[in-house]
């Protein structure tokens, strides 16, 4: 893409009411537009990152045997009354609305209820199990606080997967596979080194659930990490019993602020009992379907990458989620420079390397500042000087390392 086609502008200052570092950077770099407190629009660059994150999540969910659906946001009150989650006194994040005839509707903040009810039409026998169903869908939550930028918003995409098994053993097995898939996702988006599978409160069916927590001072949670054993515990559940249970020593644990980027939860028959989701086992007996739920917030992941990997000059995108892999920065508009830069842009496009081509008639300082702020992984500078030398000036955004490379070397490196 030619940068002059990009309608978004970079800016020196974020809106004065934007207090979070992630949203400040993402707005300044033209990835996000702030609509309201806790409500953002994804601009072309931000959308490209979000879609890359979604692609990674989809690949991992499909490899678990997940099949994708898309639920409605509008919700039927009756199904939520059946589980006791309609009343706004019990669930304080509901956004609710009404039909013209006064019928109440909700805007889904999660989807256990409608998916469990829907699965009644598709599961009746042990032969129909297991099933793993997921979606990447917009949730609405009337969150009290909106000071974490894109990491906590009132309208946000969520990947939510629901597992349906015959028994607890099936659930356990899938739960562990899902946990491994989550760790692969956080590794692939560039958060592997700072993300811990964390013991958290489990609800009625299971003693613990697991959160995936990325260490960051911008996080809203507090966790205790045993680095040696790669085990973490949320402060909310940490006590002497839990320490004994998990065989942890208090003195091995280090306290950190952290961002909950995902979580997985064993539900047992809580929802299937309330909504009558059963199957006939091999003896013809009706049994409740055993469920689990598995969430990730793609936009929170995006904000976490922005928060954790950025530096004083701006964003720093890992290759797998970057909006473009390469930023060609052309200095000058002489004939030779233009034809050389145009040619490299065409070659990279033909090779399938996503490239942003800065051909704007701006001063080098402005172009470099924009490129630093946007944070694409590889920058290729083309100027009269580089043409003289027969090489490109290639630098890595993450380390700042600069090399003079021939086209052959560059293509080799990118492939």
Per the CB < 8 A criterion, the answer to whether 152 and 145 are in contact is yes
150 CB-contact burial (10 Å; exposed 0-12 / middle 13-18 / buried 19+) = buried
Give me 86's structure tokens.
Answer: 């309609």
Q: Which is nearer to ligand ATP, 295 or 323 (CB)?
A: 295
Q: Which is nearer to ligand ATP, 261 or 337 (CB)?
A: 261
- Residues in touch with ligand ATP (CB under 6 A): 110, 141, 143, 152-153, 156, 158, 260-263, 295-297, 299-300
| Shortest Cβ 241–ligand ATP spacing (Å) | 23
- DSSP notation for 232-277: EEEGGG-SHHHHHHTT--GGG-EEEEEEEEEEEEEEETHHHHHHT-
| Shortest Cβ 152–ligand ATP spacing (Å) | 4
Q: Which is nearer to ligand ATP, 152 or 397 (CB)?
A: 152
Give SS3 for 34.
Answer: strand
Give me 359's structure tokens.
Answer: 């051909």
How far apart (Å, rounded) are the C-alpha atoms in residues 166 and 95?
34
| Shortest Cβ 67–ligand ATP spacing (Å) | 20
| Shortest Cβ 141–ligand ATP spacing (Å) | 5
How far apart (Å, rounded) are the C-alpha atoms in residues 106 and 342?
52
Q: Which is nearer to ligand ATP, 123 or 261 (CB)?
A: 261
Q: Which is nearer to ligand ATP, 267 or 290 (CB)?
A: 267
Residue with tokens 């609800």: 203
Neighbours of 361 (CB within 10 A): 9
Q: Which is nearer to ligand ATP, 144 or 350 (CB)?
A: 144
Cα three-residue angle 137-139-142, rounded to 5 degrees? 170
| Shortest Cβ 295–ligand ATP spacing (Å) | 3
How far apart (Å, rounded) are the C-alpha atoms in residues 195 and 265?
18
| Shortest Cβ 223–ligand ATP spacing (Å) | 12
Give SS3 for 293.
Answer: strand
| Shortest Cβ 9–ligand ATP spacing (Å) | 26
Q: Which is nearer to ligand ATP, 66 or 297 (CB)?
A: 297
């Amino acid at each position: 893409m030619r940068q002059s086609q990009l309608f978004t502008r970079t800016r020196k200052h974020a809106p004065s009411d934007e207090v979070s570092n992630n949203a400040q950077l993402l707005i300044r770099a033209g990835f996000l537009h702030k609509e309201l407190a806790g409500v953002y629009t994804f601009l072309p660059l931000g959308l490209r990152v979000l879609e890359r994150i979604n692609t990674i999540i989809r690949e991992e969910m499909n490899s678990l045997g997940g099949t994708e659906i898309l639920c409605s946001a509008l919700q039927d009150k009756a199904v939520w009354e059946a589980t006791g989650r309609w009343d706004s006194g019990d669930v304080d994040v509901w956004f609710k609305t009404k039909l013209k005839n006064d019928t109440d509707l909700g805007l889904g903040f999660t989807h256990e209820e409608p998916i469990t009810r829907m699965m009644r039409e598709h599961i009746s026998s042990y032969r129909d199990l297991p099933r793993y169903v997921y979606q990447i869908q917009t949730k609405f939550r009337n969150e009290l606080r909106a000071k974490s930028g894109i990491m906590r918003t009132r309208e946000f995409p969520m990947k939510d997967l629901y597992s349906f098994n015959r028994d607890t053993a099936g659930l356990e097995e899938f739960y562990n596979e899902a946990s491994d898939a989550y760790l692969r996702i956080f590794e692939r988006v560039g958060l592997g080194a700072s993300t811990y599978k964390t013991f958290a409160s489990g609800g009625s069916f299971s003693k613990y659930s697991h959160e995936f927590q990325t260490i960051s001072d911008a996080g809203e949670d507090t966790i205790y990490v045993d680095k040696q054993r790669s085990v973490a515990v949320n402060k909310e559940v940490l006590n002497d019993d839990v320490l004994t249970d998990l065989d942890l020593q208090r003195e091995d644990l280090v306290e950190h602020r952290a961002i909950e980027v995902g979580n997985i939860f064993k539900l047992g028959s809580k929802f299937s009992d309330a909504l009558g989701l059963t199957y006939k086992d091999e003896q013809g007996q009706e049994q409740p379907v055993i469920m689990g739920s598995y969430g990730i917030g793609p936009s929170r992941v995006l904000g976490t990458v922005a928060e954790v990997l950025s530096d004083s000059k701006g964003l720093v995108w890992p290759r797998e989620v970057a909006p473009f892999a390469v930023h060609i920065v052309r200095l000058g508009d002489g004939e030779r420079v233009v034809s050389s830069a145009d040619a490299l842009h065409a070659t990279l496009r033909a090779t399938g390397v996503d490239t942003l081509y800065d051909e704007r008639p701006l001063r080098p300082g402005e172009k470099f500042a924009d490129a630093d702020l946007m944070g694409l992984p590889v920058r290729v500078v083309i100027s009269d000087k580089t043409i003289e030398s027969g090489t490109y000036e290639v630098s890595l955004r993450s380390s700042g390392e600069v090399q003079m490379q021939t086209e052959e070397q560059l293509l080799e490196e990118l492939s």
